[in-house]
Structure 1
Amino acid sequence: MEVLQTEDVRDFFEQAASLLVAKEACNNLGLGILNRMMEKGSAAQGSAQPYLGLVKEAGKPVYVFLQTPPHNLILPDIDTSRPEIFSLIARHLYHQGIHFPGVVGPVEAVRPFGAKWEQLTGKKAEVEMKQLIYRLDEVNPLETEGGSLTLADEKEEALIKAWLVGFGKEAKVAMDEVRAGEMAKDFIASRSVYLWVVDGRPVSMANQSRKTKNGVTINAVYTPGAYKRNGYATALVAALSQKLLDDGNLFCSLYTDEANPTSNGIYQKIGYQVVGESIMYSFVKKSTLSC
C-alpha cells in the first residue's frame, strides 16, 4: 500500500467518490466539503491548501482522507478500511509534517489512528465528542402548535449571530463573536438559515448545510432558553426537512451529540434514523510533573 497526495480537488473527487458515496449520509462531512470546494474553489475552506490523501493498493484507491487547515483531519467511513491503513496514514502525515488539532470519523478509524499518532508525536488523544449520524428519507406526520418556516434575511443577522454563540455554548464547539458573525453573514448570503416564527417572533433556528449527490445536511439547530420545551425545534426541523425533500433531495442527514437524549429524541420523532457513529479526538500535549 502507498499513500499519495493530490492538490487537484476534482481529480481527488473522481477517485474518492465511489468509496465515499457507498455510505453517503455517513460521509456527508467530507463529501460536502469537497462539493463546496469544487463549486467555490479551495478558498471556500480558507486560505490554506487542503490536504487530500489517497491510500492505494495495486494502483487502486482503497481509502481516502482529507483536511482543510486549520480544521480536524477527516477519516471517512469506508468499508475497505483496515486498522493498518490508519497506522500507515499516521506515519505518512507525521513524516510530511502535517499539523491538525484533532481527528474525526468512525471509531474503527479514529481509534487506531489516534493510538499511532500518540506514539509518533507524544501527544495525548482525548475524546472531545461522540456523535450519532442520522438519515431521514420521509418525515413522520406531526402535530404542531402553530408557527411557520421562514427564510432568514439581513434584518435577522444580529439575531442569527447571537443564536450561533448560544448554539456554540450548548454544543460545546468553538464559537466566538467573530466566528459567529462571519457564519451569520455567510448563512444569510447563502440563503441557507431558517427560523421558526410564532406570532411574528422567531423562536428557533436551523441551517441547511452541506450538499452531497443525493442528500443535504441540517446543522446549527438552536432554540433559546426562553422558548425551549414548546416543540419549536421539532416543528422547525420537520418543516425544513420536508422542504429539502420537496426540493429534490433524496434524504436529509444530521449529527447529534450521542450524550444528549433531548436532541436524539426530537430527531427520531421526526423520522431520522441512526446510520452511523462518529467520534472526535483532540490531540494535546501530555502534562509533565515537576519536582
Structure 2
Amino acid sequence: MDAVVHATLDSFDAVTHDRLAADPVRNTVALTSLHRIRSLPGEDFPTLITFHEGDEVVGSLVRTPPWPFQTADLPLTAVELAVQVAAKIDPDAPGVTGPRDRSEAFATATGRPYTESLATRLYRLGTLAPPTVEGAGRLATEDDVELLGAWRESFLAEAVPRNPSGPATEAMRSSLRLGNGHALWEVGGTPVAWAAASLPQIGMSRIGPVYTPPEHRRHGFGAAVSALASRWALDRGATDVLLFADLTNPISNSIYQRIGYQPLDDWAEFWWRHDSGTTT
C-alpha cells in the first residue's frame, strides 16, 4: 500500500470525490469541512492523504486545522501507514476522531498517551415528527450573529471544552455566508433555543450545534428547534439528515429519537496527552 500527500484540493478531489460521495453518511464530516475550505479559502489548508493499492484508492485521511484527524474513510488496513505519514507531515495535530473502531485503532497505533475526549452516536432522520411546543421558530439572519456567536461559545464550553475554537461571531457570519441554515425558537419574541443545519452536500445535511441556554431547558425547545432545522434541510433537497449526540447525555439522545432520528454508528474522539501516563 502507498500513501500520497496532496498539496491542493483539486488533486485530492480528483481521486476521492466519487469515493466520498458514494457514502455521504459515513463521510459527513469530511464533506462538510472540505466544502467550508473550498468556499472560504482564507482558512488554514487541510492535511490531505490518500491510500492506494495499485491504481485503486482504498482510503483517505483528512485534517482541517485546528481540528483532529478524521478517520471515517480510513480502512483498518491503512492505519499503520497513516500514522507514520501523519506524524511526518502534521506532527501538531491534537488527536483523531471518527467511527470508534477506526479512531481508536489510529490512536493506539501512534504509541502516544491519549484520552477519550468525546463519545457520540451518529443518527439519521427517518420520518420527522415535530413536537408541539410553546412558541414559534424562524431562521436566523445576519442580525442574529452576536447572539449565535455567544451561544456557540457556551455550547463549546459545555459540550466539547477541549476542542479549539476561533472567534465565535465571525464563525457564525461565515456559516451564514456558506448558506447553512440557523434556526431559532422563540417564545414571546425571545430566542430560547438554536440549531444549525449544514447546506446539503450530495444529498446530506448535518444538524449541529443544538443549544438551549440552561434557563430555558426542559420545555421541549431543543426538540422543536432541531425539528425546524431538520425541516429546513429536507426542504433544500437533503435525503440524509444526520446529527451526532453525546452518549453521556441520555436526554438529548432520547429527544432526537422522539422526533424521528434513528441510531447508525458510534464515534469517538481521542486527544494526545502531554504526560507520561498510560492510555485510557
TM-score between the two structures when normalised by the length of structure 1: 0.86
- Say whether 1:136 aligns with 2:132: no
Aligned mates of 1:269, 1:11 — CA distance in 2 = 43
Q: Larger C-alpha radius of gyration, 1 or 2?
A: 1
Match of 1:58 among 43, 49, 54: 54
- Report the 3-state secondary structure (helix = DSSP H, G, I; strand = E; otherwise coil) of the residue aligned with 1:168: helix
**Superposition map of 1:1-291 within 5 A:** 1-41=1-41, 43=42, 46-47=43-44, 49-77=45-73, 81-82=75-76, 84-96=77-89, 98-118=91-111, 123-140=112-129, 142-174=130-162, 179-190=167-178, 192-209=181-198, 211-287=200-276
Aligned mates of 2:199, 2:98 — CA distance in 1 = 16
CA RMSD of aligned residues (A): 2.2
Deviations 1:6-60 (A, max 9, x none): 123133123223332343122110011222333443x3xx23x321101100121
- Report the 3-state secondary structure (helix = DSSP H, G, I; strand = E; otherwise coil) of the residue aligned with 1:144: coil
Instruction: Return closer, same or farther for 1:179/1:238 CA change in 2, 3 Å cut-off.
Output: same
Q: Is the 8 A contact 1:161 1:177 kept in 2?
A: no
- CA apart distance, 1:210: 5.6
Identity score, percent? 27
TM-score between the two structures when normalised by the length of structure 2: 0.89
Deviations 1:88-122 (A, max 9, x none): 1111222335320010111221122112212xxxx
Aligned mates of 2:249, 2:225 — CA distance in 1 = 19
Paired residues, what number? 276
Aligned mates of 1:278, 1:26 — CA distance in 2 = 10
Instruction: Return closer, same or farther for 1:211/1:125 CA change in 2, 3 Å cut-off.
Output: farther
- Report the 3-state secondary structure (helix = DSSP H, G, I; strand = E; otherwise coil) of the residue aligned with 2:171: helix
- Report the 3-state secondary structure (helix = DSSP H, G, I; strand = E; otherwise coil) of the residue aligned with 1:184: helix
Aligned mates of 2:137, 2:188 — CA distance in 1 = 12
Aligned mates of 1:109, 1:30 — CA distance in 2 = 15
Deviations 1:245-287 (A, max 9, x none): 1221112111111111011111111111112221100012223
Instruction: Return closer, same or farther for 1:177/1:12 CA change in 2, 3 Å cut-off.
Output: closer
- CA apart distance, 1:4: 0.6
Q: Is the 8 A contact 2:3 2:49 kept in 1?
A: yes
Aligned mates of 1:251, 1:238 — CA distance in 2 = 14
